[in-house]
Amino acid sequence: MVLNEFPDLIWLKRQISSRFENRAGWNGRILKEQGWPTVLLNVKTSGISRDNIKGPFSLFGNLKGSSFVKVDTRKVKVSEDHFFITNSGQNYSLEIDDKSKTETFNIHFGDQFADQLIHSQSSSVEKIMEERFQTPIHSFSFHNRLIRKTKEINELLLELQSNKDELKEEELLSHLFIELFREELKLTHATKALPSIRESTRSELVKRILLSTDYIHEFYNQQLTLGELANTSCLSKFHFLRLFKIATGQTPHQFITKVRIEKSKELLNNSNEEIKQIADIVGFSDSSSFSRAFHQHVGAYPSQFRGLT
């Protein structure tokens, strides 16, 4: 279901508190079942504040402009290049300032959608056949974090935006969710390698590391220091350096470089900016260091890459 306006906030909170018991959707729509429906919010807006909403599993993103999402005490800026993930049952707030001409593309997955998809990916065929369509009791929480939109994700978003077919919408959303689920599993496995006996401590360490990756995604084009990133995670420099490598499989410098390269590929594909300008935009000190790093990651120099695409 695609909505091009935000539902009235008072109405929405009332429906959430009753779990949509009356099966009433926004603008007189009748829902097939109780509980949060699957909703895609593609809204052109500015100057809004939607505070303290208890949501389902959600992806907050924008096709144009930016927004701010707050979960617990954490407030994150969401640009056109990323999604921010929140979990079912978490209270979120969404803000778009009055100077930002933003086109949102927020995806709220229905109450059972996420659990059923996770269950289908983690169960054997025999078990699925035995259980048929019973509601799975399995639950899985994602880490709240920024996720960079890949080329594949952007293509999915374009299809979802123009799609009018309910069956195709569910297929596209399933594809999108499964890709995110697989990435989250990688992070979960990395968490187990962190040096702590207690699971709660390992979980806290990952949350702190993800504060730094969110910071990198927002400020990748600036000259970030190890101390600055460590402070973001509330860790000492060299403790942070060791834990970051374990959790992400990369050093902070490698992670930043990868983010810069991915952004530069988008600019090479979609703009007429000169290579020297692109190097400056994404945070490289000069075009030579940009070209060397690009070749190491992509296997071609920026000018060659632009010629191939």
Q: Which residues contact 50 (CB under 8 A, 6 or more apart)?
A: 6, 9, 93, 94, 95
Give the Å distances, CA to CA, from 168 to 50, 116, 161, 162.
Answer: 30, 17, 12, 11
Closest CA to 242 of 228, 225, 256, 226: 226
The topology under which CATH files domain 2-186 is Jelly Rolls (2.60.120)
Show the tokens assigned to 119.
């269950």
- How far from each other are the two terminal CA atoms of the chain, in whole angstroms? 34
Q: What does the pLDDT read at residue 140? A: 66
Q: Where are the domains of the chain?
A: 2-186, 192-249, 255-308
Please tell me the predicted confidence (pLDDT) of residue 137.
Answer: 41
In this predicted structure, what is the pLDDT of residue 122?
A: 58
Residue 10 has pLDDT above 60, yes or no: yes
Question: pLDDT at position 273, please?
Answer: 87
Residue 135, pLDDT > 60, answer no
Cβ pair 246, 194 in contact under 8 A:
yes
**What is the token pair recorded at 66?**
């930016």
18-74 pLDDT, tens digit per residue, is: 988 998 888 888 888 888 888 899 999 888 999 999 999 999 999 899 999 999 888
Lowest model confidence (mean pLDDT) among 111-115, 155-159, 290-294, 297-301: 111-115
DSSP string, 120-138: HHHS-HHHHHHHTTPPP--
Contact between 177 and 109 (Cβ < 8 Å)? yes
Percent pLDDT > 70 in the chain is 91
pLDDT at 128: 44
Alpha-carbon dihedral sign for residues 144, 146, 150, 152: positive
At 197, the pLDDT band (50, 70, 90 cuts) reads low
CATH class given for the domain over 255-308: mainly alpha
182 burial (CB, 10 Å; 0-12 / 13-18 / 19+) is exposed
Q: Helix, strand, coil proportions of the chain in percent (round to 5)?
A: 50, 15, 35
Split at pLDDT 50, 70, 90, the class of 116 is confident
pLDDT digits (tens, 9 = 90+) for 245-303: 988 889 999 999 999 999 999 888 888 889 999 999 999 988 899 999 999 999 989 88
